[in-house]
Structure 1
């Protein structure tokens, strides 16, 4: 009987030991779970803080953009106001205009004569500038064909192609001027110098046809005889 009691006590002790071991295992598992939960909670808290920080940063950027937009609109408004103010103010560099609508200052005769004096002195570049300004301001003046002619002559030595272009403009713009006959004749002469006899004959023919009584027509007839194939 005593042996049975001892055996039962041993079994109970063994069961208690096993139960205690199981409890320890359960406690350890609970601690692991608690640590995992704590870690997860900390991560969530950190994430929430990061999101909050990012949201605050985005809000700040939006505010900055709105401020910049407002400043840009204000700047554009200021610039527009300045432009409107300037457009209403007289231009200090503008050329005064006379009653005829032409710029006040030297008249056409004075401007033409001054340019012609420079041309006769040999200051062809200065004269050319003066004649071109004369043509810009007074394109319909009776001396405009003469101004064109002198501009062409000023190019003859240094840039014959430019001279030819000016003479072409003269013939086209002022066909009724005596200078047109001279310009056509010179175009024929330039063509001869280039060795283009066909173009030269055509120019001379135009001189004879359009201005038959001009001195240039007599010269053109002589040149046509000489250039006959």
Structure 2
């Protein structure tokens, strides 16, 4: 190669080398810039992720608070419903109590009226009107007078009952039954023994006493009232079904008696 050509080649080589060096510098700068951009993007993403995490935490708290508030609201609603049910129960219990009181007052009133029209004030040997006594069942002992001392013993016990001394009355009538088990007033004494037990709220004992009257003196003028008293005691025990059946028996067996009229009134209030 001639010397001139070498002189020309040298600048070209130098120029090419310079260009290569500039290209290398350019590539390093761009790479660093890209790295810087990526780092910035990573930082931005990290910040965004943190922001999202913070928002998510706040949302979770809000959801938890909402759930708690919702549970509290439901609890409050249930408490309100429970309070209303309790109120309704109290009203029902009051109504039942008032109904039972009215039934008892009706019974006492009707029984008082019955005693008022009986010849001896409810204690003597008055008989059921002839029209109410079955033809094949004469009024037992209606033509016999009480034995000596029988009326006095009976009146003493009945006086205790009228004064409100039901314990003393029950004891007095039981003593009367011991002294005069077959007396003319025996069925009446048995009846008022049961009534004295009713007044003491011994409903089971009263029912047993009246059942004994019905078994021992089925033709007694006190039989209708004894059966009615059984129904009244069954009501006091809360056995409405049995009481209704007993009241229906009173009406069916003794249709023309005051006891039947009382039974009809009481049946009407039980509907």
Scaled by the length of structure 2, what TM-score is found? 0.41
Q: Which has the higher contact order (CA 8 A, sep 6+)?
A: 2
